[in-house]
Structure 1
């Protein structure tokens, strides 16, 4: 090879190295062949660079997916956890205090009188006795007393002793005359002074009784009912002016047997409604009698002109 060719090859290699250094990057050695196909030129050695520094940020592992919790409602019954059975412990039975011994007996079965009627009326206030007071201490009264005693922690004997009576008095009010005799049978009131002479139908609104009196002597007494507040029975002194055995009211179209008229259309007469309903109803101003046998007997004895006294 000529010197000129060798000189040109060295110049070309130097230009390549200079260009590589100017660009700041590394390159492999490039061989340049002569035009005549001679030996390759020696390449410049590659420039060494600093080793690559590691990334300061640590590598994160992928986050595992967490399954959302499943509610108890979505689980089938077979997958539900079994409840823990409660401990096998039985509470001790409550301590019971025995009732106090009963006191001396005041009333018991077979007893009659006004005190028995009061007992029944007081038990009726507390809804233990569901009948009208009768004054007879029978099985129904004994059962009511026994229930009251058991409820109040008293000895349930069914007989009214001093302890039972005292407890009942504290829990109830004193019965009125109408509470003692809600269905009639009330003893007649003291007769009005106007009833003490002659032949008189003496009628008391307070005791709801009619007493047939002759010369101040009471011969018979019966329950009666009066008019309502809208059709009240008149009060005062009257006389019987007409008797009608099979009378029928032309105003109300109702039967009025054994009628004894004393003031306009008002009369003393038998009432089947009074016999059936008691004091739940009222008359249209007349004096109703519910005992047909007694009013029939009275109808025979009363005469026109006999007096009728109606008072409170």
Structure 2
């Protein structure tokens, strides 16, 4: 395998490299420059020639150092790797939101029930950090300030809420919110919206 290869073995390669801390995004099945760099880093660590390409010897070492990836590792729920949960997220029912990894983890008693990618407010309208409570839920809502649709809103700090964003789904990180925590996976957020209760904790941290 080398740059330009695209198949399911590349997906497995990336998942195994991710287990070992060399690949820091979801497996894509495409062997690009990031995968080549991750392979080179693994080869250096193993005392192999750092070619950035996978030959028989590299694959043998990799399979010995890692385990067969699960379905969840091959196709994870989030594009971004989950951050280590903040200590405030380890007890009770918590929407644990990391600005560092740009992820939201719905956690109950320290265990991740569901996770998804998120984006935050821009420099002029930043998402507030701290410990809050989900004080209101609205399945359908339109922003009174910005006149934009905010389905599955879970408000936690004034007008700031976790909610689905069609703009985030379409434009990704090329855009930003007006302070809310945007989610692009509508189905996953809908399931979490059904589980979160008013009064549950919301932690926004770096």
Structures share fold, TM-score greater than 0.5? yes
Shift of 1:165: 2.2
Question: Is the 8 Å Cα contact of residues 106 and 162 (structure 1) preserved in structure 2?
Answer: no
Shift of 1:164: 3.3
Alpha-carbon RMSD across the aligned residues, in angstroms, is 3.0
Cα distance change of structure 1 residues 241 and 280 upon mapping to structure 2, 3 Å threshold: same
1:186 counterpart residue number:
80
2:193 counterpart residue number:
299
1:237 is paired with a residue whose SS is: strand
1:228 aligns with 2:122: yes
- The one of 159, 162, 178 equivalent to 1:284 is 178
1:135 is paired with a residue whose SS is: coil
Question: Is the 8 Å Cα contact of residues 269 and 287 (structure 1) preserved in structure 2?
Answer: yes
Query: 5 Å matches for 1:64-143?
Result: 110-111=9-10, 112=12, 113=14, 115=17, 135-138=27-30, 141=32
TM-score, length-scaled by structure 1: 0.47
Question: Is the 8 Å Cα contact of residues 26 and 80 (structure 2) preserved in structure 1?
Answer: no
Q: Which runs of 4+ in 1 moved over 3 A?
A: 105-109, 118-121, 161-164
Cα distance change of structure 1 residues 219 and 134 upon mapping to structure 2, 3 Å threshold: closer
Query: 5 Å matches for 1:34-45?
Result: none
Distance 1:235 1:249 in 2: 21
TM-score, length-scaled by structure 2: 0.70
1:311 counterpart residue number:
205
Point out the structure with max Rg over C-alpha. 1
Distance 2:50 2:195 in 1: 52
Aligned length: 162
1:172-223 per-residue CA deviation (whole Å, 9 max, x = no partner) reads xxxxxxxxxxxx6111111011001110000001110000001111111000
Instruction: Structure 1: give runs of 5+ residues left out of the alignment.
Output: 1-104, 122-132, 146-160, 167-183
Distance 2:102 2:108 in 1: 20
